[in-house]
Structure 1
Amino acid sequence: MTLDGTNTWILCEPGAEEVVVVDPGPKDRVHLRRVLSEAEAGGRRVGLVLLTHGHPDHSAGAAVFAGMAGPDVKVRALDPRHRLGDEGLVEGDVVTAGGLDLRIMETPGHSDDSLTFWLPADRAILTGDTVLGYGSTVLEGGLGDYLASLDRLRRFAEDNDAAAVLPGHGPKLDDPLGAIDHYIAHRRERLAQVEAAVRAGARTAREVVEIVYADVDRNLWPAAEWSVQSQLDYLAARNRPQDPA
């Protein structure tokens, strides 16, 4: 679990007999039974499990949950290692289940396999850990990819008049553009701080963390090092001399 726990989203149209479960969460049978009980309330059944990405707090219980829900329930994800069944998820897919259409977007950065789901019926963007309900996300993937994903999500949210962000952790956000703008500004600010630390002599991710995150709980420093390393890699690639044509 991270922050105040992983959000599991149970999606369907009102009155639908089938639901889609997004990110069942960790491999904890007590937790999974609670999710299943909620999903099956009112005589509904689980038709499909989708994963926003493969981190254990979102995906570790997916196969077990699918087995609890029924022999034909599949798990779809971008990374084949986290699937149950032959079908995956890729950019441009439209998944129809529970009376809903969900459009799939690849949004790497938090992880290389991060996905975002667009629910046009609710004008909602289900972001996994790409955008959280509060705080900032850790970067396991590349910063360049993450910034591109945020820019793309912002354009998409504006073009489609998005009304809500359904994050992987934390509360629902009712101002998608404001939330994404905050994330973009935060990343740009952090990048400037990392660059300043490097100019001041820091050479490793740990040395940068000791400067940039000096006022942050040291228990969070290991996670901060992942994000800082991604930023150092980004700066190194950006500043690398280009070969002449």
Structure 2
Amino acid sequence: MNPWTGGAFGDRGQCVLAPNANMMTLDGTNTWVLREPGARRSIVVDPGPSILSHLDAVAEAAGGPGAVGVVLLTHHHHDHAEAAREFAEQVGCGVRALDPGLTLGEEGLRDGDVVEVDGLEVRVVGTPGHTADSLSFWVPGDGTVLTGDTVLGRGTTVVAHPDGQLGAYLDSLDRLHALASERELAAIWPGHGPVITDALAALDHYRAHRRDRLAQVEAALADLAAAPMPEGIAEDELPRRVVEIVYRDVDPVLWGAAELSVRAQIAYLRG
């Protein structure tokens, strides 16, 4: 039985879990409904996939048509953004995102912006790396941050090369870690998986994991270069060969996603 079914968190957050669970989305996409206590209007983050029952549940949690001030998107991937326009038209609001192709009747978003709806303040933190347009949303009133796919509630995320870049991702982890170290963040509300109640510990783990994986990839590249293979390894085959070494203890079903991260790691090491 799956224990993660969303729910209310802090004073300002409610999670509506989309029924799109799979190997990449974990339990499904977390759609977040944010509202200042006692206020009428909400902010909806990542409406998720175009599943009518899910969108109806989000609209109900947000207070119905006219009660949503704006939709915000953490990034462009379909499991987060596919239904954004559909949902916004359903409830009568606009969509804001870093990618201008995703906005609807609203200006875009950029690092440092502050979105305010009926007293609720959400601060935009640029956290590229998983994708080039990845954003996180800091809710100072609850001392929490919505991270989309930058930090997951379980496991670690994919740096989706070539759109995603490892150097940018490491910088984003450092930025979130600094906020947590300064006690501005206590919890993480992720785009997939359960809520993380110790933001600093999770970010420590993420940074250590990335350092370890990078060292493993570097060692694998050295071993492959030193191996007696007269025919050599074609450039486009190299990431998969590294995956077979570094991720040999991971379910091969996930090797395709792992290869994206390995490509990002190789680009980072060469750059």
Question: TM-score w.r.t. structure 1 length?
Answer: 0.92
Deviates more, 1:53-62 or 1:21-30: 21-30
Cross-structure match for 1:57? 79
Cross-structure match for 2:148? 128
User: How many Å separate the matches in 2 of 1:101 and 1:64?
Assistant: 25
Deviates more, 1:25-34 or 1:172-181: 25-34
Cross-structure match for 1:13? 36
Match among 136, 140, 150 for residue 116 of structure 1: 136
SS at match of 2:153: coil
Verify: 1:224 aligned to 2:258, yes or no.
Answer: yes
Deviations 1:151-177 (A, max 9, x none): 111011212431111111111111110
Structure 1 pair 13/182, CA: closer, same or farther in 2 (3 Å)? Answer: same
Deviates more, 1:92-101 or 1:114-123: 92-101
Amino acid at match of 1:190: R
SS at match of 1:161: coil
SS at match of 1:68: helix
Structure 1 pair 158/170, CA: closer, same or farther in 2 (3 Å)? Answer: same
Match among 16, 30, 44 for residue 53 of structure 2: 30
Unaligned runs of 5+ in 2: 1-19, 226-232
User: How many Å separate the matches in 2 of 1:76 and 1:26?
Assistant: 17
- List aligned pairs for 1:53-132, cutoff 5 A: 53-70=75-92, 73-132=93-152
Deviations 1:68-91 (A, max 9, x none): 102xx0000000111112400001
User: How many Å separate the matches in 1 of 2:206 and 2:102?
Assistant: 28
User: How many Å separate the matches in 1 of 2:129 and 2:203?
Assistant: 14
SS at match of 2:210: helix
Cross-structure match for 2:167? 144
Unaligned runs of 5+ in 1: 238-245
Match among 153, 177, 195 for residue 218 of structure 2: 195
User: How many Å separate the matches in 2 of 1:80 and 1:28?
Assistant: 24
User: How many Å separate the matches in 1 of 2:118 and 2:197?
Assistant: 23
How many Å apart are 1:44 and its aligned residue? 7.4
Cross-structure match for 1:240? none
Verify: 1:210 aligned to 2:244, yes or no.
Answer: yes
How many Å apart are 1:215 and its aligned residue? 1.6
RMSD of the alignment, in Å?
1.4
State the aligned residue count. Answer: 234
Please tell me whether the aligned partners of residues 129 and 172 of structure 2 are also in contact (alpha carbons under 8 angstroms). yes
User: How many Å separate the matches in 2 of 1:13 and 1:44?
Assistant: 16
Amino acid at match of 1:115: L
Amino acid at match of 1:6: T
Amino acid at match of 1:19: S
Runs of 4+, deviation exceeding 3 Å: none
User: How many Å separate the matches in 2 of 1:155 and 1:69?
Assistant: 37
SS at match of 2:221: helix
Question: TM-score w.r.t. structure 2 length?
Answer: 0.84
User: How many Å separate the matches in 1 of 2:106 and 2:118?
Assistant: 20
How many Å apart are 1:126 and its aligned residue? 1.0
Deviates more, 1:78-87 or 1:189-198: 78-87
